[in-house]
Structure 1
């Protein structure tokens, strides 16, 4: 049976007022993830695929973690640096550009991943897929007034069932 919250989440994700509450949503998601011992967050509750991405800070060298919506594709995960429609790329995108090695966690499994940023025809193809997957990305792109970076993470052994 399909999760009814998925449709609700996708609909809410196209509402501009949601972006104004991004900080609260991120804090709640982080808290839920912590309290559940990594089993789920807000995105997972809505029946959407998510990943906990850990990168290495490009300046600090410290581990930096972000919970992100992701598009699983076999041994790949597609991530987009929408940053809730803000005018700058999220920190994790800069970290991956500097050091493409990362780890991904879905549920309780943690695996190494290698990232690459896409461009050209691959970017256009993935952008179309991502818009279908999460219609709010177009609204976020317009609000940000920038090209949203797209990364493909290769995860040996597949995209980790949640």
Structure 2
């Protein structure tokens, strides 16, 4: 169960609300702004949305501008310095901008539980994406509703702590 949530009824209610089109219209404007403000005020220790799903703040250079962009995101921790990021954009038709930024600049930094961690991102494709997608749907079922509502394939990225090797689950720490 996600941190901060103790009741299955609450989880189901939140999942139901987050699957609505109204949520998809409002959430992209409200949730990231609240998360950025709280994250800044708590010096990187708190993300409000992480009370529902684990969350990070991604810092990556803009694909076109080259300027640093900070984006609060839900994530699926895989353990051992690896996270899955889901480019759902709340089920809206376009890919979120942060996904283009990661495609152009895969070296980034995430703020995870108050720690800034240098990471490298990789777009998942083929069987690797299929396996990750199944895990993501088990983790947060509303992603299936988002995918059903749009024509594009939701991008999935695996971000790995730089210096860690995913294939052998070894770390060079």
Cα distance per residue 1:76-117 (max 9 Å; x no partner): 110111111111111111111111100010132101000110
Instruction: State the TM-score, normalized to the length of structure 1.
Output: 0.86
Aligned residue in 1 for 2:69? 64
Whole-angstrom CA distance in 2 between matches of 1:35 and 1:25: 15
Tell me if 1:3 matches 2:9.
no
Count of residues in Structure 1 that have an aligned counterpart in Structure 2: 157
Conservation of the 8 A alpha-carbon contact between 1:14 and 1:135? no
What SS does the aligned partner of 1:4 have? coil
Whole-angstrom CA distance in 2 between matches of 1:151 and 1:118: 6
Instruction: State the TM-score, normalized to the length of structure 2.
Output: 0.81
* RMSD of Structure 2 on Structure 1 (CA): 2.1
Aligned residue in 2 for 1:94? 100
Whole-angstrom CA distance in 2 between matches of 1:135 and 1:87: 19
Determine which of 66, 71, 91 is the counterpart of 1:85. 91
Conservation of the 8 A alpha-carbon contact between 1:13 and 1:134? no
What SS does the aligned partner of 2:39 have? helix
Q: Please say which of residues 143-152 and 10-19 is displaced more in the overlay.
A: 10-19
| Distance change >3 Å, CA 157–CA 4, structure 1 → 2 | farther
Whole-angstrom CA distance in 1 between matches of 2:149 and 2:33: 22
Conservation of the 8 A alpha-carbon contact between 2:49 and 2:74? yes
Unaligned runs of 5+ in 2: 165-173
